[in-house]
Structure 1
Amino acid sequence: MLDRSSLNRQIMTRRTFVIGAGKLGLLFLLAGRMFYMQFIKKDEYRTLSDNNRIKMILLSPTRGQIFDSDGVIIAKNNTCFRLLLDKNGNPKYSEEINHLVEILELDDYQIDEIKRRMSKGGRRVAAIVIDCLDWNQVAVIEERKADFKSLFIDTGFERFYKSGLSTAHLIGYLGRPGTGEDEPTKLADETFKVGKGGIEKFYEEHLRGEFGFKRIEVNALGKYVRELGKSASKPGNDLYLNINAELQENALKHMNAQGCSAIVMDCTNGNIIICASTPSFDPNKFSKLSNQYWNSLINDPYKPLIDKTTKSLYPPGSVFKIITALAALEAGIDPDNKIICTGAPILGGNSFRCSRSRGHGALNMVDALKHSCNHYIYAVARQTGADKIIEVANKFGLGKPTGVDLPGELSGFVPTKQWKMEKYGTKWGVGDTLNLSIGQGFILATPMQLACLITAIASNGKLFSPKIAVGAPNYVQLDLQQSNLEIIKTALFNTMNTPGGTGYLSRLDYKSMHMAGKTGTAQVQAKKNASDDLSRDNIAWGSRNHAIFSGYAPFDNPKYAISIYFDHGGGGGRASAPIAKKIMQDVLLKYL
């Protein structure tokens, strides 16, 4: 029989064995786990480790500059000082922001903008707090540099637009990439911006260049340790335009500030010399801190952010009578046959009158276009039929984009009989044909389309795709009889250069060069009474007729076409033709 001490020794030995075996098992388990992690899963864990330790930062390329036709810089990159926030520098960075607001004496709009940027900024890269600091702000911040551990001043670039207001819609501006942008721009740091309108957006890839990258090592807190590698970015390409900045700026001086567009196109190649829209905005203010300016633009009733040359749709008005007259000629109607205009309505009631209440008397086609006689156009439209008019309108590119190198161009609209049945469930009537014949009713066009239309007339049927940037001409030769085009040209010459023509008071006689053209007036609301004049100045601006003019010069050897659309300007001969004369004189003075 074992004594008590022997029994205790045996129990201790078993315990020692169990504990030792447990420890050995745990040791083997640990060794197995280490083998699994270090040998079997080594590639996966190396990748995870590198991802935590190594950060890849895209290096934004220097954006290409934009030049006008004289080689003058329109858009360039200026060096600026900006304030950045590194959230890793101080956990209480919000206190530093509050201190910053106090010493810079920022307004409420600026404070809200800083807070918005602060909340959106991450920890991967420093976020921009203020894009462009002035010298006084730089001095104030530098004096209190010790107070800021998460804020620091860095040098960057701001896009500067020399022409400012005059080329704002045309050139566009820069902004942060949106959700629809391509992947590289989304991964770029908060300093990177892309084109948000105009040429800047259309030629984004050309101007942007190629991204570089930098590999850096960071510690567990995400702070920079050292640079591991770098690939330089490739600068963007410069862009040269057909636009002349000087003429563009002068054009704005002649245009109405509430709403107007002016386009000048080279009749020989489709190059756009002037492409202006009012009211405008200052794209240089978009690089500043405050949202106040942006909000003022959004709330402006005259819509200054909209480029009226390509993004506004209007009735083409009496300029469309060129299409109706050509359709009649193509259908075989004799232009010398006279139709008597009495001024009275031709379809019952008070609708479809001539603009001249006492009538124009007996007119042939040339005289009818010269006087812009509705009665004559109604008569030949009924003879020609809507289908032929629509066919010719489509030939001239109405109802589809012109192909101009600007983003967001609208296509306009040319109605058809089938469309009306599908849309309204009713057949096309005579009244629809008459409305269409004078550019009213359902039809809509952009000012750029009217510029292409008049250029095609001046160039004997060449329908150009307008070119803002320098490039090879692109056009379609329209299948039209030359003799018919000559009749239209004669009518457009008489409109501007013979007494009684709707544009006679704005006739051009510069170095014996004359301008041909067609005035137009488009109603924005129906008349309540037959005697109403919706072009009067004392009518509310939004109810007043639009004023239109499309023409070209010199008449004998067409070089430049011009299209003016004056929003709610009243009559085309009274409001738009004088603007066209002034702008065309500037163009001819420079080039001829």
Structure 2
Amino acid sequence: MHNREEKLPGIKLTVIQYVIVGILLILIFGLWRLQVVGAENYHALAEANRIRKVPILAPRGKLFDREGRLVVDNYPSVSCFLVREQGHDYMADLPIIARGLNMTVDQIDAILKKYRTAPKYQPLPLKQDITPDEEEFIEAHRDEFPELETVEEQRRLYPKDGFAAHLIGYVGEVSEDMLNNPQYAYYEPGDVVGKSGVEQSYDSLLRGQDGSQDVIVDSHGREVGKLGTEHAVPGKSLKLTIDIDVQRAAENALGDRNGAIIAMDPHTGEVLAMVSRPTFDPNDFAVRIGREEWNKLITDPEHPLLNKAIQAQLAPGSTFKIIMSFAGLEEGVAQDMKVHCSGGVSLFGTYQKCWVHSGHGEVDIHKAIYQSCDVFFYTLAARLGIEKIAKWAHAVGIGEKTGIDLPNEVSGVMPSAEWKMKYFHQRWYPGEVTSVGIGQGAVTATPVQMARALSGIASGGVMKRPHVVFPDELPEDYRKAMYDSFPGSGDKAIQIDPDSWETITDAMALVLSPAGTDPSAHLEGIDFAGKTGSAQTMSNALAARLGHAHSVKDNAWFVGFTPRRNPDIVVCILFEAGEHGKLAGRLAARVIEAYVNKQRRLENNLIAKAPQKVDVGALWDNPTAPKIFGGKQVVKPQGDQAEMWGGHFYLTVPPVVASAKAP
């Protein structure tokens, strides 16, 4: 018994020794892992605790018109961010912070809820574009509220009164839906992104690349020093194709009327002006639009956010008769066709009225165009049939997107038997074609489509893709990708018989004569051609059934250009509820006149004042001595009077002086 009692302490001692050794090994391994293996990682974490990255937001690129005049600028702004990684209980500070920033606790709670999934290290945008008083509040409470950080940034400054608003677009905070889209994979919550117009189409170029500054902070989050700075890269500025003078003329012409205007150079596809009414103020979006204002915009029955120049799909009315004339002439049907208009015609068992109830008498293709005879085009449509009409309408881009470099363009509709079977599972009835012949029925088009289609016919079949940014402003890879981003019929050429071309354009010039449908739009001394159109917004039968027989007005259309062949500018007007196409024609005339007057003024200035640069540097042996040049005494040019080139001064002089020889 004595021996057993002697052995027990020895076993216990051995176990205790092994336990102690094991604990020491674990401690040694832990220290080795902390001090050797994890040294670099923990060093980085320690650095992060004392270094804070303050974002430097890149200013968006500016927008200029075709002559280099500033359209969209930026202005300096300060925003307040909430930094959550200070180890400070910021939740207890919210009531005081809310009062200092003129907010409510509920508003701040909503922001925290919105960014609840954001990483802890990411500062949250608490309030944008803060006032000087709010900025002073933050600075005065730096020690109390280290979680508040101010960041300087550049915000958009748009033209007043919605000038070119639909073309330019607006910016706003990236939404959750957008963040789930691979297209916005590089964006983070709180980032500003283009949401419509040029701002959206060219966002990746305009937005630039944000930078940051490393700031040293103490354990309480207070700034005690600064380290390196990664400078922001400003966004690329872009030159738009619009001409501010033409744009202003279009804005003034449409005024407060609902509708749209688009002016375009048919030679290049450059959009010179684009207006949509009603409009909105993009400056409301530059900071953060309120929920009440946003709801008002999206519930407005007039759709102020809709760019009607590229998104209004409406019956084009009698402007479509030019496409009908083109189809009829190219098919060899309309050249010798004559009809007698007595105020209507019976086709397919239905009597179709002409808009002139007393009739137009004997009508050929010329008269049918400039007097817009419905009976002629009912008859022409019946002879052509829907498939031939659709063939030539598609040739000039009706029913297809143009490919303009703006988001959300719509395609309109060009009906056909195939189209009706595909979408309605019904066969096409021959009697349906007569309404198509006058641009009614199922035909719908946008102003940009009609502008491009009719300018293509007036240009002998050359059709250009409309665009609002000069392609040479874009990087090569971006330029190639642009056409994939904005699918459409693009640039193309179609064959037009020269006789058809002359017939149509000469008749369109007569539209503005005393015998035409819009003599009030005639411009003295300007070769102005066009076509009026009035399109019903609902059938007479439906209007009567709804009790709106006398209150529903037709939409007024007009497409015009100058000169009549190979035009330099085409203008399409949609005047909603304008009733008569001639009223839209008067609006187009104002835009055409403004454009032509400007071109003439520029040409006169170039002829009368074209400067020439003459090398006068060789005339001076003594640079300060006066010399006689062209019969006038001149001195060595200074400053902006001369340019230095290849070691010589070049003096800018009028032609009469430049033509004289030095003695």
Normalised to the residue count of structure 1, the TM-score between the two structures is: 0.86
Deviations 1:157-178 (A, max 9, x none): 1111135501211111112234
Structure 2 equivalent of residue 447 of structure 1: 447
Counterpart pick for 2:498 among 466, 482, 487: 482
Structure 1 equivalent of residue 578 of structure 2: 569
Distance in 2 between residues matched to 1:63 and 1:222, nearest whole Å: 31
The answer on 1:504 being equivalent to 2:519 is yes
Q: Give the deviation of 1:440 after TM superposition.
A: 1.5
Distance in 1 between residues matched to 2:11 and 2:334, nearest whole Å: 125
The answer on 1:525 being equivalent to 2:538 is yes
Q: What letter corresponds to residue 514 of structure 1 in structure 2?
A: D
The answer on 1:161 being equivalent to 2:174 is no
Structure 1 residues 253-402: aligned runs within 5 Å: 253-257=252-256, 259-289=258-288, 290-347=290-347, 352-402=352-402
Counterpart pick for 1:70 among 37, 62, 67: 67
Q: Which moved more, 1:10-19 or 1:111-120?
A: 111-120
1:411–1:220 Cα change, 3 Å: farther
Higher relative contact order (CA 8 A, sep 6+): 1
Q: What letter corresponds to residue 20 of structure 1 in structure 2?
A: Q
SS at match of 1:263: strand
Structure 1 equivalent of residue 195 of structure 2: 196
Structure 2 equivalent of residue 545 of structure 1: 554
Deviations 1:460-514 (A, max 9, x none): 22111112112379732211111101111011111112x24112222222xx113
Distance in 1 between residues matched to 2:229 and 2:138, nearest whole Å: 31
Structure 2 equivalent of residue 578 of structure 1: 586
Distance in 2 between residues matched to 1:525 and 1:139, nearest whole Å: 60
1:482–1:57 Cα change, 3 Å: farther
Q: Give the deviation of 1:562 after TM superposition.
A: 0.3
Q: What letter corresponds to residue 247 of structure 1 in structure 2?
A: V
Counterpart pick for 1:117 among 108, 111, 116: 111
CA contact (8 A) 2:138 2:148 kept: no
Structure 2 unmatched ranges of 5 or more = 473-478, 480-489, 601-663
1:526–1:251 Cα change, 3 Å: same
1:147–1:247 Cα change, 3 Å: farther
Q: Give the deviation of 1:355 after TM superposition.
A: 1.4
Distance in 1 between residues matched to 2:542 and 2:193, nearest whole Å: 52
Distance in 2 between residues matched to 1:63 and 1:411, nearest whole Å: 31
Distance in 1 between residues matched to 2:125 and 2:533, nearest whole Å: 51
Structure 1 equivalent of residue 406 of structure 2: 406
Q: Give the deviation of 1:459 after TM superposition.
A: 1.8
Q: Give the deviation of 1:46 after TM superposition.
A: 5.8
Q: Give the deviation of 1:458 after TM superposition.
A: 2.6
Q: Give the deviation of 1:555 after TM superposition.
A: 3.3
Structure 1 equivalent of residue 483 of structure 2: none
1:375–1:153 Cα change, 3 Å: same
Structure 1 residues 415-426: aligned runs within 5 Å: 415-426=415-426
Q: Give the deviation of 1:34 after TM superposition.
A: 6.4
Distance in 2 between residues matched to 1:380 and 1:556, nearest whole Å: 24
1:257–1:137 Cα change, 3 Å: farther
SS at match of 1:298: helix
SS at match of 2:163: helix
Q: Which moved more, 1:468-477 or 1:252-261?
A: 468-477
Q: Give the deviation of 1:347 after TM superposition.
A: 3.3
Distance in 1 between residues matched to 2:150 and 2:219, nearest whole Å: 25
SS at match of 2:471: coil
Q: Give the deviation of 1:249 after TM superposition.
A: 3.1
Deviations 1:142-189 (A, max 9, x none): 566666443343322111113550121111111223444677965556
Distance in 2 between residues matched to 1:51 and 1:434, nearest whole Å: 77
Distance in 1 between residues matched to 2:46 and 2:443, nearest whole Å: 61
User: What RMSD, in angstroms, separates the aligned Cα atoms of the two structures?
Assistant: 3.6
CA contact (8 A) 2:505 2:565 kept: no
Structure 1 equivalent of residue 167 of structure 2: 170
Distance in 2 between residues matched to 1:469 and 1:23, nearest whole Å: 78
CA contact (8 A) 1:507 1:514 kept: no
CA contact (8 A) 1:513 1:555 kept: no
Q: Give the deviation of 1:268 after TM superposition.
A: 2.5
Distance in 2 between residues matched to 1:438 and 1:450, nearest whole Å: 14
CA contact (8 A) 1:82 1:132 kept: yes
SS at match of 1:487: helix
Q: What letter corresponds to residue 496 of structure 1 in structure 2?
A: L
Distance in 2 between residues matched to 1:19 and 1:136, nearest whole Å: 69
Distance in 2 between residues matched to 1:379 and 1:7, nearest whole Å: 127
SS at match of 1:81: strand
Q: Give the deviation of 1:126 after TM superposition.
A: 2.4
Q: What letter corresponds to residue 373 of structure 1 in structure 2?
A: C
Structure 1 equivalent of residue 634 of structure 2: none
1:218–1:91 Cα change, 3 Å: closer
Deviations 1:291-336 (A, max 9, x none): 3322221121111111111122111211111111111111112434
Deviations 1:375-394 (A, max 9, x none): 10011111122221111111
Distance in 2 between residues matched to 1:470 and 1:562, nearest whole Å: 20
Distance in 1 between residues matched to 2:266 and 2:294, nearest whole Å: 38
Deviations 1:535-567 (A, max 9, x none): 99x61xxx4321111010233662211001112
CA contact (8 A) 1:421 1:427 kept: yes
SS at match of 2:260: strand
Count of residue pairs brought into register by the alignment: 574
Q: Which moved more, 1:130-139 or 1:561-570?
A: 130-139
SS at match of 1:302: coil
CA contact (8 A) 2:55 2:151 kept: no
CA contact (8 A) 1:243 1:468 kept: yes
Distance in 1 between residues matched to 2:521 and 2:183, nearest whole Å: 53
Distance in 2 between residues matched to 1:89 and 1:48, nearest whole Å: 18
Distance in 1 between residues matched to 2:106 and 2:306, nearest whole Å: 26
Q: Give the deviation of 1:139 after TM superposition.
A: 4.9
Q: Give the deviation of 1:403 after TM superposition.
A: 1.6
Q: What letter corresponds to residue 266 of structure 2 in structure 1?
A: C
Q: Sequence identity, in percent?
A: 28
Q: Give the deviation of 1:93 after TM superposition.
A: 3.2
Distance in 1 between residues matched to 2:253 and 2:102, nearest whole Å: 40
Distance in 2 between residues matched to 1:143 and 1:217, nearest whole Å: 20
CA contact (8 A) 2:458 2:565 kept: no
Distance in 2 between residues matched to 1:276 and 1:494, nearest whole Å: 27
Structure 1 unmatched ranges of 5 or more = none
